[in-house]
Structure 1
Amino acid sequence: MLKLLKTLLCAALPFVPQAALAQVDYPTESVRIIVPANPGGGTDAAARIFAEYFQRNSDAVTAVVNQAAGGGVVAAQTVGTASPDGATLLFFHAAFHTANLSGNSPFKWDQFTPVATVTESNEVYAVRADTPYDTLDQLIEAAKAKPNTMSIGTQLGGTTQVKAQALNVAAGETMRIVDAGTESDRVAALLGSQVDVISMSVGSAKQYVAAGQMKALAVMNEVPDVTAPEIPTTISQGIDISLPLVQTVYGPKDMDPAAIAAIEALIAQMGEDPEFKALVEKQGQTLALRDAAATAEFLDTEYATMQSYFAN
């Protein structure tokens, strides 16, 4: 029945020509991909692209399950207590680390099996269009010239807190960090002159820049964003901040090596598939493919980076 369901679902999902890709044998007939986010956001979109590709190119039926409750705690518990056979996976990003570091979650990344990274997306530092700052360096110099007068709007306990702290460190800790809520709340606070700078998604920033309401001073990455190459990076401006939001796949502790190997095979195929790359970029993301060993190394570094900013 599951194989029949997969066949019917595959027929309904337009994607890469099946003949162009090798089918990967997976050790379980079905896979639940647990997403600690509500439907409709960037993490959910990335998870669904991954799930669709997984189902198209393996013999397993996939289902995305959204478990946003508890800021990721419920989802982590679901996966952490699941069988290690590969039938239950976690799909999340650096908020997994910040929840742990802020004391909001008992779960740390190394309590799970790192399997792969799939995509990444960027955020920018944005200011109002009527400010005199055209570069991140100008903003930082202004903050240093008048300590404790400039504020950064963020969401405490989330990844934007790290981004705010990173900017504050670059400014010699002369800026005030203000809890301004979700991205929509931060945008309202910025446009209402309640804060001086915020971090926000590239896609949203482009809309406000086009409307003449904001300036996007820098993409927080080493390389330009593919959807907004005109926005300079932090690194290109001499500011050592690189904090892309990397979507990562985890399994329960001691996950079946056969399941890991199968997902690694899918990851390798993704890197050779131009249609998959185009689909990811259409969602405002870029490929960031790593196998299990490289993912573990990346997560160790990512967690340490987050930890260093929480210490400030």
Structure 2
Amino acid sequence: MINKLEMFIAVAREGHFGRAAESLGITQPTLSTGIKQLEAMLGVQLIFRGHRYGGLTPEGQRALVWARQLVGDARAFREEMRAARHGLAGHVRLAVIPTALTWAAALSARFSKAHPNLRFTILSRTSAEILSMLENLEIDAGLSYLDNEPLGRVTTVPIYTERYTLVCRADHPLADRDSVGWSDLAGCRLCLLTPDMQNRRIINQNFMEACVTPEAQVESNSTVVLVAHVGQGDWVTILPAEMARFLAEGTDLRILPLDRQRADHAVGLVAPFREPHTPVTEALLKEAEKLARTGETVVFAP
């Protein structure tokens, strides 16, 4: 039954039978048969469908909550038994906001050193996508903001507090200052993360309080693209201090503290709320707590 519940979750997630089948690595007829068998077992119709997917029925909406819980419990059970016999091993799926990728590298490096039989897949995603992926069992945990927008029912471990800096070329008019204010950026050529990123919404709030309307001439979901543009012209970008230092290492770019930040925002590990946690998730939460205490991100080779 668990495999059929996984099929049901995939269809609800993708909103399309073909994409759901592809995500599971099965054929569409196999998927459709599995859903029909699940409906027969439960005695209710779960999905409206004619020639294509038409959404979940009211019974399907209620069944989805149970399906996620049952599949999550089944996976936790399998992992618990595997860990009892072989120790921590397997695949950790982590989704991370773009500005926290250096911290994700620090976390996965420390965790892999302690548990060498684990492997990681790390994806760059928006904070909203991270919550959706957690809900749909697509990832094991995420690194995201903890206190700016609602998170729902999850387990969290704060790791660091985000502080913003301006990144500009050494020949930029602002480059010789010790720090800059948000109002000083009025009229600057900005390249910023896209509006679907929570980081961008936080930056916009800071500009708003400084009575500045930010007009980004370049927008991207990649911090690498932003810093590359800064290096190519008179653009400037705004990034958290750790990410700015990482991307500007070995260049002539200047990094300037931004004064009068609206608020500090905590970033940390976000995991599904579950008692007990899987052995891997429990160990990952503890490693995140250790990382928070040391405050170490990326160490550059000399």
* TM-score, structure 2 normalization: 0.50
Question: Does 2:78 correspond to 1:35?
Answer: no
SS where residue 152 of structure 1 aligns?
strand
Shift of 1:48: 1.9
- State which of 189, 197, 208 in structure 2 corresponds to 1:151: 189
Unaligned runs of 5+ in 1: 10-29, 83-87, 102-107, 219-233, 285-312
Distance 1:240-1:187 versus aligned 2 partners, 3 A rule: closer
Equivalences, count: 213
- State which of 97, 105, 108 in structure 2 corresponds to 1:45: 105
- State which of 249, 259, 266 in structure 1 corresponds to 2:277: 259
Distance 1:194-1:158 versus aligned 2 partners, 3 A rule: farther
Q: Which residue of 1 aligns with 2:269?
A: 248
Determine if contact 2:192/2:219 at 8 Å carries over to the other structure: yes
Determine if contact 1:154/1:177 at 8 Å carries over to the other structure: yes
* TM-score, structure 1 normalization: 0.49
Distance 1:54-1:276 versus aligned 2 partners, 3 A rule: farther
Question: Does 2:151 correspond to 1:109?
Answer: yes
2 CA distance for matches of 1:184 and 1:127? Answer: 14
Determine if contact 1:153/1:199 at 8 Å carries over to the other structure: no
Distance 1:243-1:154 versus aligned 2 partners, 3 A rule: farther
- State which of 183, 196, 202 in structure 1 corresponds to 2:223: 183
Determine if contact 1:37/1:66 at 8 Å carries over to the other structure: yes
SS where residue 233 of structure 2 aligns?
coil
- State which of 213, 219, 235 in structure 2 corresponds to 1:195: 235
1 CA distance for matches of 2:210 and 2:242? Answer: 22
Shift of 1:93: 0.6
2 CA distance for matches of 1:33 and 1:153? Answer: 33
SS where residue 249 of structure 1 aligns?
strand
2 CA distance for matches of 1:165 and 1:204? Answer: 18
Distance 1:42-1:210 versus aligned 2 partners, 3 A rule: closer
Shift of 1:154: 0.4
2 CA distance for matches of 1:185 and 1:128? Answer: 15
Q: Please tell me the residue identity of whatever aligns with 1:152.
A: L
2 CA distance for matches of 1:185 and 1:266? Answer: 30
Shift of 1:281: 0.9
Determine if contact 1:122/1:245 at 8 Å carries over to the other structure: no
Distance 1:77-1:217 versus aligned 2 partners, 3 A rule: closer
Shift of 1:155: 1.4
- State which of 240, 246, 254 in structure 2 corresponds to 1:215: 254
Shift of 1:91: 1.9
1 CA distance for matches of 2:168 and 2:277? Answer: 45
Shift of 1:136: 3.7
1 CA distance for matches of 2:103 and 2:126? Answer: 13
Q: Which residue of 2 aligns with 1:305?
A: none
Question: Does 2:134 correspond to 1:79?
Answer: yes
Unaligned runs of 5+ in 2: 1-81
Determine if contact 1:113/1:251 at 8 Å carries over to the other structure: yes
Distance 1:51-1:78 versus aligned 2 partners, 3 A rule: farther
Residues 251-282 of structure 1, C-alpha deviations (whole Å, 9 max, x = no match): 14xx22x439x9789867976x6x9955x515
SS where residue 281 of structure 1 aligns?
coil
Shift of 1:172: 1.5
Distance 1:80-1:136 versus aligned 2 partners, 3 A rule: same
Distance 1:97-1:241 versus aligned 2 partners, 3 A rule: closer
SS where residue 167 of structure 2 aligns?
strand
Shift of 1:217: 1.3
Determine if contact 2:227/2:247 at 8 Å carries over to the other structure: no
Q: Percent identity?
A: 9
2 CA distance for matches of 1:189 and 1:114? Answer: 37
1 CA distance for matches of 2:247 and 2:154? Answer: 38
